[in-house]
Structure 1
């Protein structure tokens, strides 16, 4: 048993700025699923592997655990509303969102800074989260500045 307060720990982690991602998939039944995730990281260049994690209490948990393919979207600095939309629980998160079908039908959201289309490689238990490692099958980079999150707020990168 840890004596670390989870809320204080979370606040401390906010001192490390992160990019903001949205992960999307298409279920076996054709339903679309998406969540906002700041827990994204690169793992390997060869093979191309990335990871992200999902909370076990997420309403999208089972759909993403069952998914064989999913896409990670690095949001552009003008997509703050999209981040909030996919962070909420319930409702049609894709309503009004422009996207096209990617590999195996997983949605690719338009206007993002970058997108990685992935196939699940591994899943690991990680406390109150599960860590998902994906093999990148295809990617795109629009060269746009990314949306950043730090200390509970969205931020933009300073431009030279």
Structure 2
């Protein structure tokens, strides 16, 4: 069931104030990775990750509609969500950069479906690209988790415009 309500009444809305309010919610930091048919690796930093369901195992993340990588993520059958550990802020920055090869100098292995899994992450989820929902200026991706692994460690979160390390696991 997908219920849509009429859009909220139009009022003056301060987008910068909205962004500031959102920054008060601490979020985990992930790098979403995938591999093209020609073997090219692609990855991006995302903090819009959340669990959806245990049965079936579903997670979600979102990507801005204007992102250059949008055609790849809407078209590929699989991707990996890498949950970054406390000491991996450099990876978050690298995968959020405009570098041509964001995988430069990054250790990784390939998952069962050939997708890149970053070395040393606290957890990772290999997902089938189950569904996509356009909402506002983003596409919400729902992935069905086919495999996941855990490497318990302190986590990396994003809060108030910066990276913060969590305590020990």
Q: 1:34 to 1:3 in 2, by over 3 A?
A: same
> Take 2:28 and 2:68, find their aligned partners in 1: how far apart are those partners?
22
Q: Which residue of 2 aligns with 1:76?
A: 85
Structure 1 unaligned spans of 5+: none
Q: Which residue of 1 aligns with 2:64?
A: 55
1:133 corresponds to 2:124: no
Q: Which residue of 2 aligns with 1:118?
A: 127
Q: How does 1:4-153 map to 2 (within 5 A)?
A: 4-153=13-162
Q: Is the 8 A contact 1:59 1:89 kept in 2?
A: no
Q: 1:2 to 1:27 in 2, by over 3 A?
A: farther
> Take 2:165 and 2:106, find their aligned partners in 1: how far apart are those partners?
22
Q: Is the 8 A contact 1:59 1:90 kept in 2?
A: no
How many pairs align?
160
Which runs of 4 or more aligned residues in structure 1 lie more than 6 Å from their structure 2 counterparts after TM superposition?
none
> Take 1:19 and 1:72, find their aligned partners in 2: how far apart are those partners?
12
Shift of 1:48: 0.5
Root mean square deviation of aligned Cα: 1.4
Shift of 1:67: 1.3
Structure 2 unaligned spans of 5+: 1-9
For normalisation by structure 1, the TM-score amounts to 0.95
SS of the residue 1:131 aligns to = strand
